[in-house]
Amino acid sequence: MKSILSKFTFAVLIFSSFYCFAWGLTGHRVIAEIAQHHLSSKAERKIKKLLENQKLAYYANWPDFIKSDTTGVWKETSSWHYVNINAQKNFQQFKDSLEAQKSPNLYTQIESLAIKIKDKNTSESDKRNALIFLVHLVGDLHQPLHVGRFEDLGGNKINVTYFGQNTNLHSLWDSKMVEDRKYSYTEFANLLDIKSKDDVKNIQGGTLQDWLYDSQKIANSIYFHTPKDSKLSYDYNYRFESTVERQLLYGGLRLAKVLNDVFG
C-alpha cells in the first residue's frame, strides 16, 4: 500500500489545483477523525494492524487520489463514489429505485466492501484496500449530492458562482463549503464531536438505505435553494452551515458504527 501511495503523490500535487475531490481533503479527514474517536477497542486494534499503525484520516482521501491514475487499474472504482436517483415521493419508492440499480455504485459497494472485510478468505492486502475504500465511501454517502439526480449528474451540470467564482453545485458541496471554514481537520472534528451517548446511538441507528435516503432528502433541499446560475455568497453559507456540520458529524459517527460492526 505504501508503494502504491507514493506512486500517486506527484500526480495528486499536479491535479489538486483543478481536480474535484468529494468533501475535499479536509472533509473526508474530519469524518475519519470523528470515526476514530468512536471505534470499539476491538475494531481499533484490528484496524491499527491493517493500516500499520496509521489513523483512518491518513488514508481517507486515497480513493480520490487514485482517480489520477492513468493505468486503468482503478478505473472500475469511479462509479463507487455515488448513486444518482431522481427525487422520490417516499422511502419505499426510493428503496425500490435504489435496489433496481444493478451496476456498481455507492450503495452496492459499501455493502460489498463490508462483506469482503468480514470474509476470512480475503487477503490482508485486499482487506486493507477494502477498509480504505469503506472509510471514504461512507464519507461520500453523507455528501448529499453524491445521492443526487441522474439529470444533472448530482449537480455537476448546474453552474453557479460562489463569491464571484465560477463553479458547479456538486463541486461547491464537495469542497468549498468545508474548506472555506479554515479549520484543520482535527479542529473541525473536535468542534463537532460533542454529542451525548444517547444522541450518538440515535444518529448511528437505521440502515444504509435509511442513511442514503436521508442524504437525498437534503439534496432535494439543496436543489430547491440553488437553481442554475445562482450567485451565492454569505447568505448561502448561513443557510447551509448547520447542514454541512451535521453531515460531517453524522458521517463520522455512522462510519464508526459500520467499522465496529465489520470488525466486531
Mean pLDDT by 10 residues, the chain (264 residues): 42 37 84 98 97 96 85 88 93 96 94 96 96 98 96 95 96 91 95 98 98 97 97 95 97 98 94
Amino acid residing at 170: H
pTM score, whole prediction: 0.91
Would you call 31 exposed, middle or buried from its count of C-beta atoms within 10 A (0-12, 13-18, 19+)? buried
- Is residue 248 exposed (0-12), middle (13-18) or buried (19+ Cβ within 10 Å)? buried
pLDDT at 22: 65
Q: Is the dihedral of CA 61, 248, 141, 54 positive or negative?
A: positive
Supply the pLDDT for residue 70. Answer: 75
Residue 49 pLDDT: 96
Question: 154 with 146: CB under 8 angstroms?
Answer: yes
* Angstrom distances, CA of residue 27 to CA of 59, 74, 99, 127, 158: 13, 22, 28, 24, 22
Closest by Cα among 38, 36, 47, 113 to 80: 113
Contact between 132 and 59 under an 8 Å Cβ cutoff? The reply is: yes
CA distance 101 to 15: 31
Element (H, E) at 161: strand 159-162
User: Could you tell me which CATH number the domain at 2-12+27-150+185-221+241-262 has?
Assistant: 1.10.575.10
Residue pair 123/39 in contact by the 8 Å Cβ criterion: no
Task: Looking at the chain, list the stretches that DSSP marks H as alpha helix, in order from N- to C-terminal side.
Answer: 2-15, 24-37, 41-50, 56-59, 62-65, 91-100, 106-118, 124-141, 169-171, 177-179, 185-192, 197-203, 208-225, 234-262
Q: Give the pairing type, strands 231-232 and 165-168.
A: unpaired
What DSSP state is assigned to residue 231? E
In sequence order, the 6+-apart residues with CB closer than 8 A to the CB of 130 are: 113, 116, 117, 122
Would you state the pLDDT for residue 21? 53
Cell of 57: 484520516
Residue-level pLDDT at 1? 47
Residue 72 CB partners (closer than 8 Å, separation 6+): none
